[in-house]
């Protein structure tokens, strides 16, 4: 189609209240060219609002499609990686726990074995590790939680006790921070404070720390 024909066609389409994007898709003409050709033919406010609404719907559909695609991809990765990882034998579980402790455990108080985290699953794994690798019952553990000043202490203790499958009697007096929980929630926190699981056992602490040192020295 010749340029003059395209310009005439563009004018016809514009009079049908098509947007630059719609006309561009039909004629293959750049938006800047259409803007020059059709500068004297603006769309009505009503039509602009209609197009804007349609555009928002298109964007939302696109986002939903992307979300579902990502969700499907992650599910496939999850199934594949789960198949690679499990089941863990005793040695693998022991090493996994060591690396967790290396990153999240207490390495300064030699008389205690302790891990702190906002993620309940980390504490659950620590409890499982202590029991599996060292034959120590979870009943021997003590727990303390760091909360924010607008959080309900009893509700949070109940949450952690239920999630970790331990007794409320194992919880020490919580530490209450001066700031609000809104701060951690805005940063993607779990909203239940930080839980510290600890065991008073100096020899076990030394054993764990020396195992970590052995790995570190081997690097």
- In whole angstroms, give the CA distance from residue 176 to residue 155: 14
Q: How many domains does the chain have?
A: 1
Q: Would 43 be classed as within a structural domain?
A: no
Please state, in angstroms and rounded to a whole number, the distance separating the CA atoms of residues 200 and 19.
72
Q: Which residues contact 164 (CB under 8 A, 6 or more apart)?
A: 120, 123, 124, 127, 138, 143, 195, 197
Q: Note whether residue 209 is domain-resident.
A: yes
Q: Kindly state whether residue 61 falls inside one of the protein's structural domains.
A: no
Q: Is residue 97 part of a domain?
A: yes
Q: Where in the sequence is the domain holding 198, given as residue range(s)?
A: 90-218
The answer to whether residue 44 is domain-embedded is no
Distance (Å, whole) CA 174 – CA 194 = 10
One digit per residue, the tens of pLDDT, for the chain of length 219 reads 778 888 889 889 888 988 888 889 899 999 899 989 999 888 888 888 888 777 777 767 778 888 999 999 999 999 999 999 999 999 999 999 999 999 999 988 678 999 999 999 999 999 999 999 999 999 999 999 999 999 999 999 999 999 999 999 999 999 998 877 666 555 545 589 999 999 999 999 999 999 999 999 987
| Residue 45 forms part of a structural domain | no
How far from 172 is each of 100, 146, 161, 163, CA to CA, in Å?
A: 24, 11, 12, 17
Buried-state track 174-196, b at ≥16 Cβ within 10 A, e below 16: beebeeebeebeeeebeebbbbb
> Residue 174 falls within a domain, yes or no?
yes
| End-to-end Cα distance, the chain | 69
Query: Does the reported pTM lie above 0.85?
Result: no
Identify whether 111 is part of a domain.
yes
């Amino acid at each position: 189609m010749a340029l003059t024909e395209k310009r005439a066609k563009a004018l016809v389409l514009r009079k049908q209240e098509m947007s630059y994007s719609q006309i561009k898709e039909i004629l293959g003409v750049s938006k800047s060219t259409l803007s020059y050709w059709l500068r004297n033919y603006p769309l009505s406010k009503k039509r602009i609002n209609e197009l804007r609404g349609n555009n928002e719907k298109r964007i939302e559909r696109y986002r939903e499609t992307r979300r579902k695609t990502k969700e499907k991809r992650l599910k496939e990765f999850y199934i594949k990686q789960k198949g690679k990882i499990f089941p863990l034998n005793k040695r693998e579980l022991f090493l996994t726990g060591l690396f967790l402790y290396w990153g999240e455990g207490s390495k300064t108080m030699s008389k205690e074995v302790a891990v702190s985290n906002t993620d309940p699953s980390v504490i659950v794994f620590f409890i499982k590790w202590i029991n599996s690798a060292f034959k120590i019952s979870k009943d021997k553990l003590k727990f303390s939680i760091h909360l924010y000043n607008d959080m309900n202490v009893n509700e949070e203790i109940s949450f952690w006790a239920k999630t970790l499958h331990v007794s409320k009697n194992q919880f020490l007096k919580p530490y209450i921070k001066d700031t609000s929980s809104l701060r951690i929630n805005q940063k993607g926190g779990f909203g239940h404070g930080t839980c510290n699981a600890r065991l008073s056992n100096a020899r076990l602490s030394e054993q764990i720390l020396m195992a970590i040192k052995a790995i570190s020295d081997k690097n």
